[in-house]
Structure 1
Amino acid sequence: MDDYGTGYNSGKVLLNLKSHYLKIDKEIVRQIYLDESKQKMVQSIVTYGHQQNIQIIAEGVETLEEMKTLVELDVDLLQGYLLGKPQKSPARISDDVLSQLLSLKSDKK
């Protein structure tokens, strides 16, 4: 399911859908580190998704602060300009971003 949280997709749709992935819209992700309501919403989505064996993707990740918050909230996959611009084939993320991401993941253990 794409763009969850934009109005096109609701909780009712989520209950009836058998999906392996749920992508949280960039409007929810944007400056999530400053907004406790967004953080609580994403935490609820992650908890429900994981109970249903759904992997959670956050789109629109543009800052290290957003990445850190989403990792702390246990989002499974991240997508956005911080990690790489849209391309025809996958690109390597920068060493700095990769190092920070790996550090965040190891801190959670």
Structure 2
Amino acid sequence: MKIVGVAACTVGIAHTYIAQEKLENAAKKAGYDISIETQGTIGTENELTVKQIEEADIVILAVDVKIAGRERFEGKRIIQVPTEVAVKSPNKLIEKAKEVVEQEKA
């Protein structure tokens, strides 16, 4: 499964990067490809490419604020949660993403 996403917290510092790291580790542990873009006080980092978004099975938005470029994900399956969920329960979030993808394929 291929996952892309965006992490962005209200301050744009700590939770943004913690959410990114936790999601990446949980997805890799489950054997999935993942790319997480961060939008914080220093701007956008690890910006997702059109190809990455097209190939993704699901999009995870771990955000507490309005993000730039949300329209890029139109037509994709999206799970949106606060960054706190990605930080505290990344494995459950990745499992939920898997369930959503499998339900839609069934």
Higher normalized contact order (CA 8 Å, seq sep 6+, divided by chain length) = 2
Q: TM-score, normalised by structure 2?
A: 0.33
Going by fraction, where is strand more abundant, 1 or 2? 2
Larger Rg computed on CA atoms: 1
Q: TM-score, normalised by structure 1?
A: 0.32
